[in-house]
A and B are shown apart, each in its own frame.
Chain A
């Protein structure tokens, strides 16, 4: 589904990604872990198409298309979804109105009919249950004055509405208490199926107790320096990241 080959990227003069290789198949969950500043969020941003980052080398193929050639909205329409670490507050734009626009632009792109108001509300009610989000929250301006937990639930709600093929969760666990973490993880798990894939970017193991990964990759200095199964995450939790750094410097 997603093939990343030797991906390099910088912001300003600062090189952040130094040759990432990753292959993701439908149905898989990949965790990207690593110490602060290792490039985890940059990888997520580059995949979503954030313009501040300049791709300086490598390629990314998503479902047969050159992902790097596409504008952010085109990537979304092809099925890429980024759950933001810091969801943006947009005063004056309600989640409902904004989601209606998004869902319909994506549907039109896929050759489907735009949903009318009634069908849209029906779809919305169904997806709201997944993340236990209240409609009153969705009537309000997007993320404005939301708690950290509400913002993250709203991200997963949007993911549910847009039914992406590849969801990238960027530090979705940050700022969540344990109850919110369970709700958010449950939502993600319910959305998983054989034909979609998830990239979980996280600093800590605790999210991976709930969203269990098939593969764990450790990012350090802009490269994947170690890959393994979910046990690797537990090892990192127990031992920290220093032994990885040592291993890399020895090598």
Chain B
């Protein structure tokens, strides 16, 4: 007889750990308490649950982590090797989930950039007004967990009519060389009317098993712009859950870029609510997977009002025995006439063992809309490979050229030149580009 480990156990273990540290009298105490209750009620997703069908995150947590201990404290870390070279930015560094003032450098004066704990402790009105209002912790236990127990993250507030040129960059460093690391990061980005900002998160880890649960809420006001990058390139036993919840108003523009290049299990939830007219939302994703990496991108785009445009392009290359998952939901509400919503997911499988599961889900209640979706999965074009070889190009180089060409389409949309060059190098190296 097989014994199934009950998921309730780790839910309870995590919940009682949270409860011990919960200060209900703090500015966010009520929110955290409510989220904790939701976390208990929901429980971590059981295996085969619909939303986590291909991504057994609960089992991975059970198997690889203890929930009673504390993270090792890392006092210093040289971020030079993981930093994006030549990028002029306001930098926040989080070491095992904890903000490091010494490693960070915030110089911009025309916007508010604060560690979120500081924003809450100082009762920042904007932060408290928006915190926890968008990321729904009542349907997903992982979001509830984060909301109840988040350690730190960034609060970015751009006032009205302000264009911020310098990106805000978050380096999340996990040093699990002295033992496992679990970090819960929480970001809140508020972009005022007719303003714009770029925020980039990059994750790096060393050592043994480490997990991060990151929730980012972004509120983008009328006519404002936001560029949001997430770069996930961790080797080793790296587990990651993230929810990025974006709330857009009239005529705002948001581009998100999600790059998953390594890791053990990565789940990215990206939810857009288009609560206005004339909105543009672009979601770009690239996952280049090898070994036994599992990367699961779940996106939701909710068109609530007329005349908005959303466009989604996710591409993946799966090698070895890696697994890709893409699930793209698009809702077009009854009011959202004249919506344009496009979605494309393209995949290349390099081996027989690599897999991808891709699923578009369109639910359309309005009748005057343009929506399209397309999924393709295939092997590399052998005829094209042969063609390149007949010109004297070695098979490895030819392969790299073709993969780079496939992946490079996503890079074309990256606007920031320094970030683009960095990603280009990382991807080229990853695909062994030597031409």
Contact = CB atoms under 8 A, between A and B. Distances in A.
B395 A88 contact: no
Interface string B395-420: 10110011011101100000000000
Contacts of A89: 384
A101 B393 contact: yes
Nearest to A141: B405
B397 A51 contact: no
Interface residues of A, number: 32
A51 B404 CA distance: 24
A87 B387 contact: yes
B86 interface: no
B269 interface: no
Contacts of B388: 90, 93, 98, 102
Contact of A88 (B387, B393, B401, B408): B387
A75 B389 CA distance: 9
A71 B394 CA distance: 9
Contact of B394 (A81, A105, A141): A105
Given A91-B405, A92-B406, A71 B397 contact: no
A95 B227 CA distance: 32
B81 interface: no
A81 B390 contact: yes
A105 B392 CA distance: 7
B392 A88 contact: no
Contact of B386 (A51, A91, A158): A51
A131 interface: no
A109 B392 contact: yes
B381 interface: yes
A90 B405 contact: yes
A49 interface: yes
Contact of A71 (B389, B402, B405): B389
Given A50-B386, A98-B388, A73 B401 contact: no
A124 interface: no
Given A72-B386, A84-B387, A88-B387, A93 B393 contact: no
Given A92-B406, A92-B408, A93-B405, A73 B387 contact: no
B391 interface: yes
Interface residues of B, number: 23
Contacts of A106: 392
B390 A98 contact: no
Given A50-B386, A90-B405, A158 B391 contact: yes
Nearest to A101: B435
B402 A90 contact: yes
Interface string B371-386: 0000000000101101
A162 interface: yes
A43 to B, nearest CB: 15
A12 B388 CA distance: 24
Interface in A57-112: 71-73, 75-77, 81-82, 84, 87-93, 97-102, 105-106, 109
Nearest to B412: A92
Contacts, number: 79
A162 B401 contact: no
A211 interface: no
A50 B406 CA distance: 23
A224 interface: no
A197 to B, nearest CB: 17
A130 interface: no
Contacts of B397: 101, 105
B392 A162 contact: yes
Contacts of A73: 389-395, 398
Given A101-B401, A101-B435, A76 B391 contact: yes
Contacts of B409: 91-92
A102 B435 CA distance: 9
A48 interface: yes
Given A88-B384, A105-B397, A77 B392 contact: yes
B392 A98 contact: no
Question: Which one of A72, A88, A105, A109 has the highest number of Cβ atoms from chain B below 10 Å of its Cβ?
Answer: A72
Question: Which one of A77, A81, A105 has the highest number of Cβ atoms from chain B below 10 Å of its Cβ?
Answer: A105
A22 to B, nearest CB: 20
A158 B393 CA distance: 13
A88 B389 contact: no
Nearest to B388: A98
Given A93-B401, A158-B391, A88 B406 contact: no
A6 B381 CA distance: 32
Nearest to A89: B384
A119 B281 CA distance: 44
Contacts of A97: 435
B150 to A, nearest CB: 40
A49 B388 CA distance: 12
Interface of B: 381, 383-384, 386-395, 397-398, 401-402, 404-406, 408-409, 435
14 contacts: A49-B389, A73-B389, A76-B390, A84-B387, A84-B390, A89-B384, A90-B388, A97-B435, A98-B391, A99-B391, A102-B388, A105-B392, A106-B392, A162-B391
9 pairs of A and B residues whose beta carbons are closest in the complex: A92-B405, A76-B392, A72-B389, A102-B391, A101-B435, A106-B392, A88-B387, A73-B389, A93-B405
